[in-house]
Structure 1
Amino acid sequence: MPVAIAIVVLVIGSIAFHWLSPWWQTPLAADWGSIDSALRITIAICAVVFVLLNLFLAYSLWRFRHRPGRRARFEPENAALEKGLTFWTAVGIAAMLAPGLVAWGRFVTIPKDAAVVEAVGQQWQWSFRFPGADRALGTAAVQYMTPENPLGLNPNDPFGRDDIIVEASELHLPVGEPVKMVLRSKDVLHDFYVPEFRAKMDLVPGMVTYFWMKPTRAGKYDILCAELCGSGHYVMRGSVIVESRKAFDAWLSGQQAFGQTITGAAPEVNAAAPAHVEGGPATGHGEQH
């Protein structure tokens, strides 16, 4: 009996903690309400199963507790019960997976009008790169990394000469416009995560990963690394400022292009570059290594 009572108290306490908890999701600031919906459905299904199973366990402990003169009946299997449990388990799993699959389908389908921004992670800071007037990012590789070229851009690639480098951990984005985030790591696993955007993705050494989002609310938000990346993991923070197109253009015009950092001259513009970077792992007209 004490165990049954403790289980009931645990269930009631868990429900109360959920509804009375001050820790809720941050306000949504991107076009990813489908991720929130998938999460709420998962929590609701898990909560129902948690409550029913624990209350059934408490009832069983009370109903079939040991009493003098009563003996348990041995029943090695129950086909009807097993079929019912299998069916309802499958229904619950499908109900949890379906919303996530719908969200994932959108998550990996980059809009054709999405701008492209590269985020580069290293222990323990963020850097960013925007395409220049040719609207295409140049290639990059490890062998090109130097103190003067920390992102490893190919100095011989004309598509990268006008790329805009932002070494400060502050990213600006225009509100209401889709953007494809291309992600690279210079050392270990990192993860680019802005809680208000919901969308996130790992940065994997030797690979180029990506996701997309559309900021819907102006403001300043924290950029976090959501992957344990070493002793300084907790300080790997940045900020993203979502603002009007006019304010964004003014900020971007004040940043330095890669061509200026290596020659001190004005950046070259390749008019033959593609108008848009296609959705996929490549960040420009060629793949990164």
Structure 2
Amino acid sequence: MHIALAIALLVLASILFHALSPWWQTPIASNWGSIDTALHVTLLICALAFVGLNLFLAYTLWKYRHRPGNRAHYEPENARLEKRLTFWTAIGIAGMLAPGLIAWHEYVTVPADAAVIEATGQQWQWGFRYPGRDGVLGTAAVEHVDADNPFGMNPRDPYGRDDVLVETNELHLPLGKPVKVVLRSKDVLHDFYVPHFRAKMDLVPGIVTYFWMTPTKSGSYEILCAELCGVGHHQMRGNVIVEDQRAYETWLGEQMTFGQMLAEREQQRGAGGTQLARAAPPAGAAAKAGGR
């Protein structure tokens, strides 16, 4: 009897906690309402199963509790009950899977007019790459990564010369425009996750993954890494700035392209070589100094 009461109180407490809890989804800021719908359907079906099964368990514990003179009925098989359980379980599973499959199909079907950007993850920071005027991202590979080329850009690919490189953990996106986010990792597993967008996808070393979204609200939204990626995992954060098209284009025009970065570094190297040459003594003076 006490166990039946405890189970009923547990069901009531669970319902109240869910209904009154201050911890809930952040306000959505993208087109992925279908992902919220899939989540809500899953929660509803699981809630109905949880409440129904536990209340049924409490009821049977109370009704068939031990009383003098009562004898248990032994029934090792009940085909009718098994068929009912199988049918309703299948309905519940189908109900949870269907909205998710519909949302997933939309999630990986990129619109033809979507812009393309690239997010690169490494321990423990984000980097972003935008196509230049040609609208095409240049090729990149891990073998090209070094101190002077952190994105691994292919220096022989002409399409990459006008690519815009951002190393500040800040991603800018235009409001109301669909964008395909291409994802690469330079070291271990990471996961690009923006809770307000309901958008997330793993970054797998050696594989290029992607998803797409359309930002629907201006503002600043936090980027999280949702895959344990080492001791600095909790610090791997960034921000998405969603702004109108004019502000976005103004910001983008202020960023450095891959071609400009190469030219600047070549100029620095040349200036450094000239300074070294000026600082070095003439060859004859060095020989005389050595002879003395």
Q: Which residue of 2 aligns with 1:269?
A: none
Does 2:97 correspond to 1:84? no
Match of 1:194 in 2: 194
Partner of 1:164: 164
Tell me the SS of whatever aligns to 2:77: coil
Q: Hey, what does 1:250 align to over in structure 2?
A: 250
* SS of equivalent residue, structure 1 residue 121: strand
In 2, Cα distance between the equivalents of 1:127 and 1:29? Answer: 22
Indicate whether 1:8 and 2:8 are aligned: yes
Tell me the amino acid that sits aligned with residue 84 of structure 1: R
The AA in structure 1 aligned to 2:71 is R
The Cα of 1:70 is off from its aligned counterpart by: 1.6
Partner Cα distance (2:141, 2:221) in 1: 30
SS of residue matched to 1:86: helix
Q: Note the C-alpha offset of 1:2.
A: 1.2
Q: Which runs of 5+ in 2 are unaligned?
A: 266-292
Query: What residue number does 1:272 align with?
Result: none
Q: Distance in 1 between matches of 2:96 and 2:62?
A: 32
Q: Take 2:73 and 2:210, find their aligned partners in 1: how far apart are those partners?
A: 58
Give the drift of 1:263. 2.1
Separation in 2, partners of 1:185, 1:66 = 62
Kindly state the Cα deviation for residue 218 of structure 1 after the two structures are TM-superposed.
0.3
Residues 135-161 of structure 1, C-alpha deviation per residue, up to 9 Å, x if partnerless?
A: 111111111101110111101111111
Question: What displacement does 1:32 show?
Answer: 0.5
CA distance in 2 between counterparts of 1:230 and 1:16 reads 37
Shift of 1:264: 2.8
Give 2:173's aligned amino acid: L
In 1, Cα distance between equivalents of 2:140 and 2:195? 29
**Superposed counterparts of 1:42-121, under 5 Å:** 42-121=42-121
- Gaps (5+ residues) in structure 1? 266-289
- Name the counterpart of 1:37: 37
Counterpart residue type for residue 183 of structure 1: L
Look at both structures and tell me which one has the larger radius of gyration over its CA atoms. 2
What RMSD in Å do the two structures reach over aligned CA positions? 0.9
Q: Stretches of 4+ moved more than 6 A in 1?
A: none
For 2:28 and 2:15, locate their aligned partners in 1 and report how far apart those are by CA, in whole Å: 24
> Which is helix-richer, 1 or 2?
2
Aligned length: 265
2:280 corresponding residue in structure 1 = none
Higher mean C-alpha displacement, 109-118 vs 62-71: 62-71
User: 2:70 is matched by which residue type in structure 1?
Assistant: R
Q: CA offsets, 1:69-117, max 9 Å, x none?
A: 2221110010010000000111111111111111111111100000001
Q: CA–CA distance in 2 between the matches of 1:121 and 1:68?
A: 69
Letter in 1 for 2:223: I
Q: Secondary structure at the match of 2:83?
A: helix
State the partner residue of 1:271.
none
Q: Which moved more, 1:57-66 or 1:119-128?
A: 57-66
For residue 230 of structure 1, what is the aligned residue in structure 2?
A: 230
Distance in 1 of aligned mates of 2:150 and 2:122: 10
SS in structure 2 opposite 1:171?
A: strand
Structure 1 stretch 244-253 or stretch 93-102: which is displaced more? 93-102
Identity %: 68
Paired position in structure 1 for 2:209:
209
The yes-or-no answer on 1:150 pairing with 2:153 is no
Counterpart Cα distance in 1 of 2:159 and 2:76? 71
Task: Give the TM-score taking structure 1 as reference length.
Answer: 0.90
Q: Aligned-pair distance for 1:195?
A: 0.4
Q: For 1:263-278, list aligned pairs within 5 A.
A: 263-264=263-264
Q: What is the alpha-carbon distance in structure 1 between the residues aligned to residue 188 and residue 110 of structure 2? A: 26
Amino acid at match of 1:66: H
Structure possessing the higher relative contact order (Cα contacts under 8 Å, 6 or more residues apart) = 1
Shift of 1:68: 2.1
The whole-number CA distance in structure 1 between the counterparts of 2:221 and 2:85 is: 45
Q: Which residue of 1 aligns with 2:19?
A: 19
Aligned to 1:239, the other structure's residue is in SS state strand
Cα deviations across residues 207-257 of structure 1 (Å, max 9, x unaligned)? 000000000000000000011111111110000000000000000001000
